[in-house]
Each structure stands twice: as structure tokens, then as C-alpha cells.
Amino acid sequence: MRRADLILPADLRMIRAVREVACSLATSLPFTLDDIDDLGVAVSEMVAVSLSGCDRGQSFEVHFEVRSSEIVMSGQVSGVGRPAVLEGVAAELVTVMTDSHRVQTTGDTTTFRLKKRIAGYSGTRTLDDNLESSLFARYRETGDPAVRDAIVERHSHLAASFARRYSSRGLAVEDLTQTALLAMMRAVDRFDPAHGASFATFASRTMDGELKRSLRDRAWSVRPPRDLQERFLRIRRAEETLTHDMGRAPTLDELAADVGLDPTEVIEAHSAGLARTSTSLSVPDGGAEHPMAPVLPTPERGFGRVEDELQVAGLLEGLNDMEREIVTLRYFDSMPQDEIAEKVGVSQSYVSRLLRRTLERMGERSGHLEPLGQAADGEDSGDRS
């Protein structure tokens, strides 16, 4: 049996230390990661309730016992000003996540105790335990892939559990399950029963790490630098922990102090985190009834046409009546030069020369002398041909 004894200041900030000790000790037993997380939540709630009525300046004791099939936490707080009562959501959480618990205040002292057992553990080695040991012994001797597959199949529920845990992080649950199973196969190759840990615990750590790496490398819609990704994930974990410990969301300064970063670096990491997922423009977003794509702005060619017409109108005002009429007939009514000459009563060569001079003058005023002059040459030569 392993023991751990702590004497800490009666401060709510010590909850994290107690939780980390509990979770660390639990890894020596064949708990799943979900079980260890549940234990951490239950320990945090128990300690928070026990310290809620304690005067500042006091200390409290916590004792852990790690037995063959369970972990037990007990402790006491002195100098409490009011009874500690586990109720509401906290009571429901602790009841669901542990096998037994108790909080009691007598006089000015509050005592607490909780116990969590390994699910389905009977206290003696079962047929399944012996079969697993024999499978690992055979695999270490022969390296037979069929034996490894049998071990993975027996623990495939763990892979499915971890895949569901990370299913809302940007990758399909089928891909996550495949990643977890591949990680479990590598865990079989590296596992040594002689070290005392269970394969479930060993494989859980391996799958958890592999899934996190996969999400880091594949789940980002836009890939910020690696250090920025890791900073965002570290800040998010710290924010979750602080929110639980403090009973409220941490301020920017509190969060920055906890992770040891400048507030501007925290803001930068949060901004990078927005690139983790994206929404298709063809899918309704949030409370919208219709996709976003049809309502996004698109180039409108009419705007450019209006600007051109306004500019040409201003240039036409600077022409005399003959020049304005010839330009209008040629370029607005698309009339050939010979018909223009007949209409206004002049020769075609005069119309051509007048158009050239008029367009050159309009080009000078608009700042587009060369293109307008070239256009006039083209029209003139086309008509002569």
C-alpha cells in the first residue's frame, strides 16, 4: 500500500495541488483516464467544500492511501466558522464519480473522506487477468501479429472512448478511432508487464498523446506556427482549471500570470485559436436559416460603368456642337464614318480627322492620351478599308 500525506495552507488555491497528487497516485492503478479525471473533479469538490468555512491562516491535512483496487482520500480542516455541507451539483458530481464519500463538521473541525474503486475489480486475479498476462507473454516470445491483434481487440473499447472524448475538436470520430487503435498497437509493442502498471493505463497514456498530436497537426483549418498552437492549448487548459478552482472565469491578468506569459501573448494565442475550425459558406451558420455564400458581396460591373459614363459626360461638355455630335454618333450610336459624313454634311476624311483631334484632346484632359489616339487610328483605318 502506498501513502501520501499533505499539510497545506487552508487556501482554495491549494485545490489544484491536491487534485494533481490524487491523479498522479491513481495512475499506478489500472484506472482509465476518464476514471482519473472523475477522481480529480471529486477531490476538487470535496476539498473546496471543506475549506469553504475555514478562517484564513489555518492549515488542513490530506492523506491518500493507494490500495490494490482503490484509492482513498481523507483529511481534516480546523478552525472552521460554519459547517461544511456538500449539496447541489457538487453533491451529485461526487456521488456519481466516487464509490463513497463523507463530509462532517464537529465543533470547529471538518473531516472528509472519499473512496474510488477500480470498476469491476473483485480483489483477486480473474480469468481475464490471467488471459491478458498469457497473451503478453506469448507476444513477447513469438511476436505473432495475431496475438497483438487479440490484445488490441480486447481493449478496443478504450480506443472508442478516447475517440469520443476528442470528437468535437475538428476531426471525424472514425479518424480518431483509427488513430487511437494504431497508437494501441504501438503500445502493445512497448508494454512490459514487469513494471507493474496495467496495460489499460499504459495504453491510455499512449493513445491520449497520439490523439493530441493528431489534432495539433491535422485539425487546424489555418496552420499558425507550432509554438502558437501549443501556447493556445496550454492557455485553454489553464483557463479551464482556473475557472473550476475560482468558481468564475479568470481575468486576462490572472490567466497570463498562471501560464507565465505577457497578456498580449495570451491575446495573440486566443486569436490563433479562432483558426482551429472554420465553417463552410454553403452550410447555415449559427442561427442563420440560409447559407452564407449567396449573400456575400460580389464584384458589380455596373459601378465601373457608371464611373466611366460620368467621366465621358464631363469630357463631352468641353466639346463644341459639331465635335459632340460626331463623337456621339460614332461611339454611342455605333454609326459608320461615311454615314456620319452624310448626316452632318461633310466629307468622310473630315469626319476622320475631326474624330482624331477630338479624341486626342479628350485623352489629354482625362490622362489617357495614347489609348484614345490608338482607338481613333483603328476606327479610321477600319472605315477606309
Contact 8, 14 (CB under 8 A): yes
What's the burial of 151, exposed, middle or buried (CB within 10 Å: 0-12/13-18/19+)?
buried
Q: Specify the residue for cell string 477600319.
A: 382
Equal fold, 129-218 vs 226-283: no
Q: What is the 3-state secondary structure (H, E, C) of 14-54?
A: HHHHHHHHHHHHHCCCCCCHHHHHHHHHHHHHHHHHHHCCE
What stretches of 13-171 show up as alpha helix (H) in DSSP? 15-26, 33-51, 88-97, 127-142, 145-154, 156-165
Architecture per CATH, domain 226-283, reads as Orthogonal Bundle (1.10)
- Contact predicate 211/195, CB 8 Å: no
Angle between helices 301-316 and 348-366 (to 10 degrees): 110
Q: Which pLDDT value is given to residue 114?
A: 94
Contact 194, 133 (CB under 8 A): no
Sheet bearing 70-78, strands edge to edge: 2-9, 59-66, 70-78, 109-117, 100-106
Q: Where are the domains of the chain?
A: 2-117, 129-218, 226-283, 302-384
pLDDT of residue 112: 92
Domain 302-384 fold:
Arc Repressor Mutant, subunit A (1.10.10)
* 268-299 pLDDT tens trace: 888 877 766 666 666 555 555 555 556 566 66
Give pLDDT, residue 63: 94
At 278 the pLDDT is 62
Cell 507565465 sits at which residue? 260
Residues of the chain predicted below pLDDT 50? 122-127, 369, 371-385
Structure confidence at residue 141 (pLDDT): 86
CATH match for 129-218 among 1.10.3470.10, 3.40.50.300, 1.20.150.20, 1.20.120.1810: 1.20.120.1810
DSSP 320-352: -HHHHHHHHHHHTS---HHHHHHHHTS-HHHHH
Segment 130-138 long-range contacts (CB within 8 Å, at least 24 positions apart)? 132/199, 133/193, 136/188, 136/191, 136/193, 136/199
Query: First CA to last CA across the chain, in angstroms?
Result: 108
Give the pLDDT confidence score for residue 373 in this predicted structure: 43
- pTM for the model stands at 0.41
Return all residues near 90 (Cβ < 8 A) that are at least 6 apart.
45, 48, 49
The second-level CATH assignment, the architecture, of 2-117 is 2-Layer Sandwich (3.30)
Joined together, the cell numbers standing for residue 296 give 456575400
| pLDDT of res. 129 | 58
